[in-house]
Structure 1
Amino acid sequence: MSLRNMNIAPRALLGFALIGLLMLGLGIFSLVQMGNIRQAGVAIEQVSVPSIKILDELTALNLRMRTLSYRLLLNREPATQRDTLDLLDQRNSQIDRARQAYLPMIVAADEQAAFDQYGQLLNQYRQLESRMRTLSQADRLDELHDLLNRDLLANSEQINKVMDTLVRINTDQTRATNEKAANQYAGAFALVIGLLVAATVLTFACAFLLTRSIVKPIEEALKCAEQVADGDLTHLIRAEGTDEAARLLRAMARMQDKLRDTLQQIAGSATQLASAAEELNAVTDESARGLQQQNNEIEQAATAVTEMTSAVEEVARNAVSTSEASSEASRSTGDGRDLVMETVGAIERMSGDVQATAKLITHLAEQSRDIGKVLDVIRRTPRHLFVDEALAHRAYEDTALPIGHNQTISQPFMVAHMSELLLEAGPLDKVLEIGTGSGYQTAILAQLVERVFSVERIKVLQDRAKERLVELNLRNVVFRWGDGCEGWPALAPYNGIIVTAVAPEVPQALLDQLAPGGRMVIPVGPAGEAQQLMLIVREEHGFSRRVLGAVRFVPLLNGPLA
């Protein structure tokens, strides 16, 4: 099974568990070997060393027994004799206790055989000792002397040989135990070193595989993200496995596809908008020319009507002079004159309507040309990023959309119109925006002026706008959470001020922060009623104001809102 088919957490747990098992196996093996070595030490401590001590004690007791035997021969005082016999009894008791203590420590057959031989020799000695006691009590010193120098001496030498054999056997056992422990230590040392090396290699291998299985897909995701950030949406994103990194790559692939489709839609919409603007310009120019021609024709018609009126008046005067001849003809002539005058009035009214229509079409043409100046910025600014996902399909409609908290994102035409009004006198380096909102107007301004200072009273909207502008890599905007009616006096004055909410009247604080020659675009009027978009310019001796047309905006409110 591939590591990429496991999530990162269980994959890391598996790797560390494997390393832990290796360390656990190494520790258990080391403990077993240490236990074997400890058993060898215990065997030496509890068997070999006590056995040799008991053999030394038996040897010493045998020597003392021989000494007491000669003392029994040489010192014949009754009291000494009694003491010597008592000592012989004590030494025999000590030998019996030592033999009983030694018996459980016998571990080998040859040692058992030697110990049995020692027991037989000890029984022989005690028989000789019994004869020695009898001869001593009977004062048969010559026979006692012969017993000590012949039979007892031979028995003592055999006991010494057996004791030497037992000592040699125990020494050999101790040496064998030491050698076994040394061999176990050497083998365990070599094996532990080998296991340590193997565990280290396996640890590095596990760490390498685990790290590679995590880092490599992250590097691929980072590379793909950088390519998407650079505008390359053609790179094929491949995802292998089912872990988090693979799911991230698949999500990036879907995002790239959707982004590609969205950009294509934006490009198509921008092309259609540009074509519509060009067609509108052509239509308005043609309409203007037609209206001008029609105006000329109307003027010619008006001249002709005037001339006809003069002629009719002349006829009327003639008719008046002959009215005496026929009153009925006079009345007919008066009615004709009234009809002609009504015709002239209608033609004059039609001429005024045509001229007003021409002015309106000219104004619309100027608005279209203004929109064309910021069309490039609007074309490359993705408006769908500034609306809720549920309204993304309507992001490129020319209409205002809700963004929550009783606020809206302005229609693209109004954003373009207000931006063009702010910039029509020339480029600006310092603009104050009152009402960040979704951040769409802020993003447009950030691409048109050098620096933008944006004030928003609703903290949640401002935080979202910040994230969107960072995503678009627009770094020339400074945000402030506060009351927009107060502006931002600490950084005043500003070359331009744009207000994206309607105020009952122009705030004096904003007028004070406008630099000489600066321009302010602001909607003014009561909330929910007729509102007017106003352009205010600070001139040498005051402010000039120009009303630009009816608009509809959300109200400008006082005080920050978390």
Structure 2
Amino acid sequence: MLRQLKIAVRTSVCFALMVVLVIGLGIFSLQQLHGIREQSLEIENDSLPGIALGDDIALAFEKTRTSVAKMLTSREPAQVEQVHAEFLVRKAGFEKAIQAYTPVITEDDERALINGMVSAYQRYTERAEQVYALIKENQSEAGRQIMWGEMRTMAEGFEASLEKLEKINDNSEAESSAAASAVYDNALIVTQLVMLITVLLTVLLAWRLTKSLAVPISQALLVSETIAAGDLRPTQLDREGSDEAALLLQSMERMRGNLSTTLTHVGDAALQLASATEEMSALMVNSNADLVVQNSEIEMAATAVTEMSQAVDEVARNAVSTS
């Protein structure tokens, strides 16, 4: 398939696929990091604040109980009023702690528990106001009975609710930590797997690209060396594909064929020339023989003419002598 593409297009496609693999690996890694970050934010914004704010609620309640106990131990009316004012501050602090905790509530049972604690605290403060009124009426003993009886039971129930709230926050923190660890472990395994797949695909692409370039070039080199050595016999070549290397092989094969045809024609012409040369040599031999004969005849004719001239001269001399 790669051999059907031009070298420039093939190289661009292979490198583009490698870039896509790298980008895919990066996007996947970012997604896994985002999942870990979400779990971290849940711990940071929900579990840990829930634990701290739950401690603030418990501290505000204990301060409220301390203020009520101080009212019972106060002797002077002014001191009672001062402690009551402190009690009101503690009450406001509790309400503030509840308001701060409300945004971090994530579960229905947690919300129901907080609502129950608010109602229990309201009942507790109502009894505290009743104790304050009894103290102002110099009925401290009745106030102590309420505090160590009904209010103590309320406090124990409230503390039990605080323990449940603490357990909810601890469980939430543990679950978030476990989820973050699971996301991290999963991300680590999958990222390693994706990296391995990416490396294997990259190596495969590089191998296929190198092979698609090296094999035809090696064949072209072999053909050129064969032609240079004078061997113009047909060779078995891989003519698959339509890229530059395949076109080069086809061109070299045509060149080999043309050279072979040309040399064949030259050989035939040389044979014809040799035959014509032999015929010409034979003709020249015959011509030389004829020339020798002609020369001999000419010499004989010249000799005869000479003899005739001598005879004529002799006749002339005889004629002159006779006269």
Q: Normalising by structure 2, what TM-score?
A: 0.90
Please name the residue that 2:73 is paired with: 74
Q: Is the 8 A contact 1:65 1:91 kept in 2?
A: yes
Deviations 1:459-508 (A, max 9, x none): xxxxxxxxxxxxxxxxxxxxxxxxxxxxxxxxxxxxxxxxxxxxxxxxxx
Map Cα deviations across residues 172-219 of structure 1 (whole Å, 9 max, x no partner): 111111112222222222222222222333333333333323322233
5 Å-filtered alignment, 1:478-493, equals: none
CA distance in 1 between counterparts of 2:102 and 2:33 reads 29
Give the structure with the larger strand fraction: 1
Whichever residue aligns with residue 259 of structure 2, its letter is L
Task: Structure 1 unaligned segments of length 5 or more: list them.
Answer: 325-562
Cα drift, residue 154 of structure 1: 1.9
* Residue of structure 2 in register with 1:250 after alignment: 250
> Residue 45 of structure 1: SS of its match in structure 2?
helix
Measure the CA separation in 1 of the matches of 2:315 and 2:136. Answer: 205
Q: Check the 8 A contact 2:77/2:136 in 1, yes or no.
A: no
Structure 2 CA distance, aligned partners of 1:185 and 1:83? 56
Partner of 2:18: 19
3-state SS of 1:139 partner: coil
In the alignment, which residue of structure 1 is the partner of 2:178?
Answer: 179
- Aligned pairs for 1:113-124 (under 5 A) are 113-124=112-123
Alpha-carbon shift at residue 22 of structure 1 (Å):
2.9
**Which residue type is aligned with residue 303 of structure 1?**
T
In the alignment, is the contact (CA less than 8 A) between 1:15 and 1:210 conserved in 2?
yes
Q: Please state how far the C-alpha of 1:266 moved relative to its aligned partner.
A: 1.2
Q: What CA distance in whole angstroms lies between the structure 1 residues aligned with 2:321 and 2:212?
A: 117
Distance 1:311 1:150, change over 3 A: same
> What's the CA shift for 1:301?
2.5
Determine the C-alpha separation between the residues in 2 that align with 1:129 and 1:145. Answer: 10
* Partners of 2:270 and 2:79 in 1: CA distance: 138
Aligned to 1:40: 39
Deviations 1:238-268 (A, max 9, x none): 4122222221221122111111110011112
Report whether the alignment pairs 1:212 with 2:214.
no
Q: Quickly say closer, same or farther: Cα 1:320–1:132, change in 2 above 3 A.
A: farther
Q: Which has the higher contact order (CA 8 A, sep 6+)?
A: 2
Aligned to 1:304, the other structure's residue is in SS state helix
Which whole-Å deviations, capped at 9, do the CAs of 1:407-426 have from their partners, x for residues lacking one?
A: xxxxxxxxxxxxxxxxxxxx
The answer to whether the 8 A contact 2:5-2:242 is kept is: yes
Cα deviation digits, residues 80-128 of structure 1 (max 9, x gap): 4343223222222221122111112111111011111101111112211
**2:202 maps to amino acid:** T
Q: Once structures 1 and 2 are overlaid, which stretch shifts more, 16-25 or 39-48?
A: 16-25
Amino acid at match of 2:223: C
Deviation at 1:237, TM superposition (A): 4.2
**How much does 1:271 deviate?**
2.2
Q: Separation in 1 of the partners of 2:263 and 2:281?
A: 26
Q: Is the 8 A contact 2:60 2:97 kept in 1?
A: no
Q: 1 CA distance for matches of 2:304 and 2:85?
A: 179
Q: Describe the superposition over 1:220-245 as per-residue Cα deviations: whole angstroms up to 9, x where unpaired.
A: 33333333233322224441222222
Indicate the residue corresponding to 2:127 in structure 1: 128
Once residues 176 and 80 of structure 2 are traced to their aligned partners in structure 1, the CA distance between those partners, rounded to angstroms, is: 47
C-alpha contact (below 8 Å) 2:216/2:245 kept by paired residues: yes
Distance 1:237 1:297 in 2: 70
Alignment of 1:505-516 (within 5 A): none
Alignment correspondent of 2:93: 94
The residue that corresponds to 1:221 in the other structure is 220
The SS at the match of 1:76 is: coil
What CA deviation, in whole Å up to 9, does each residue of 1:13-55 have, x standing for no partner? 3333333333333322222122111101001101111111111
After TM superposition, list the pairs within 5 Å mapping 1:35-434 onto structure 2: 35-238=34-237, 239-318=239-318
* Distance (Å, rounded) in 2 between the aligned partners of 1:82 and 1:296: 177
**How far does residue 166 in structure 1 lie from its aligned partner after superposition?**
0.8
Q: Is the 1:224–1:235 contact (alpha carbons within 8 Å) kept by the matching residues of 2? A: no
Amino acid at match of 1:81: V
* SS of residue matched to 1:233: coil
Superposition deviation, residue 318 in structure 1:
4.5
Alpha-carbon distance in structure 1 between the residues aligned to 2:89 and 2:293: 158
Q: Deviations over 1:359-395 (max 9, x none)?
A: xxxxxxxxxxxxxxxxxxxxxxxxxxxxxxxxxxxxx
Secondary structure at 1:220 match in 2: helix
Q: Please tell me whether the aligned partners of residues 120 and 154 of structure 2 are also in contact (alpha carbons under 8 angstroms).
A: yes
In the TM superposition, what is the alpha-carbon distance from 1:79 to its structure 2 partner? 4.7
Tell me, yes or no, if the aligned pair for 1:4 and 1:213 is still in contact at 8 Å: yes
> d(CA) in 1 for partners of 2:214 and 2:260?
28
* Distance (Å, rounded) in 2 between the aligned partners of 1:76 and 1:305: 194
Farther off after superposition, 104-113 or 149-158: 149-158
1:4 aligned to 2:3?
Answer: yes
Identity over aligned residues, as a percent?
Answer: 36
One-letter identity of the residue aligned with 1:275: S
Structure 1 stretches of 4+ with a deviation exceeding 6 A read: none
Using structure 1 for the length normalisation, give the TM-score: 0.53
Query: Aligned residue pairs: how many?
Result: 322
Cα gap change, 1:321/1:92 in structure 2, threshold over 3 Å: closer, same or farther? farther
How far 1:56 sits from its partner (Å)? 0.6
